[in-house]
Amino acid sequence: MSEDLEPKRAKGTGVKLAYETLRDEILSLALPPGALLDEMTLADRFGMSRSPVREALIRLAGDELVVTLANRSTVVAPIDIQSFPKYVEALDIAQRMNTRLAAELRTEADLMTIAKRQKAFVAAVKTGRHLFMSEANKAFHMAIADAGKNPYLASFYDRLLNQGRRMLNLHFEFLETEQGGYLLTDEHDQMLDAIRNRDAERADALAHAHTRQFQDNFIDFLKRNYLKDVAMPAPRPAA
């Protein structure tokens, strides 16, 4: 589509539309890992020039959701199974530290926010839409991180949660098809209870169990659907 024929949009809206649409499709796995993202094809799809599409792809690259190959083609980033043990180890540390700090430093306002995010997660679970669920799950955990009052740990945690959203959607699929439900709602309630009671040790242990449950189910999902033999170390036990 030529620049002259492109529909007039408020500045930046074309980039926002392309970015948010592609991000949601990547996170929900509607666009699978390795899928080709051709600028011209996407420009035709969204009814815009290649410039906003290119900018949207640059933003997605910053989110580590797309990668540019040696031939300059852009594809959906792979899910790196080989690095999963290191990823889950980092997630375990970040989750435990932020949850422990929240139990020690939370305010009443923090508790209200965490409880509100948990209600939103429960509502998202009832929709059965994994993208909504992973978004609500992140919001719940980031409310806990905010209650911990350490922006450095919270920022690190935010990045890890973003990187894991596609894997979490696969985790939800496993819970739905193999276990018939979502135990995460109960786990979240228990974490909130420990934070409310300022029980840092229990909060730490629950956060660790939360990571372990995610790891074990994700590995089971891979074994049943993709790999014949997967062996990965467990997160380090809670202190």
For 52-92, write each residue's pLDDT tens digit: 999 999 999 999 999 999 888 999 999 888 889 999 999 99
Whether 38 and 92 share a structural domain: no
User: How many folded domains does the chain comprise?
Assistant: 2
Dihedral (Cα; 152, 154, 157, 161), 10-degree rounding: -140
Whether 49 and 97 share a structural domain: no
Give the DSSP H or E segment for 115: helix 108-127
Q: Out of 58, 76, 94, pick the residue that ends a domain.
A: 76
CATH number at residue 63: 1.10.10.10
Q: Out of 76, 96, 111, pick the residue that ends a domain.
A: 76
CATH number at residue 92: 1.20.120.530
Judge whether 165 lies within some domain. Answer: yes
Whether 183 and 71 share a structural domain: no
Judge whether 207 lies within some domain. Answer: yes
> Which residues constitute the domain of residue 144?
81-225
More confident residue, 119 or 174: 119
Q: For the segment 175-204, what is each residue's pLDDT rounded down to a tens digit?
A: 777 666 665 678 999 999 999 999 999 999
Q: What is the pTM of this model?
A: 0.81
Distance of alpha carbon 66 from alpha carbon 39, whole angstroms: 13
Handedness of CA 204, 209, 210, 214 (dihedral sign): positive
Whether 101 and 174 share a structural domain: yes
Whether 207 and 94 share a structural domain: yes
Residue 36, strand partner residues: 75
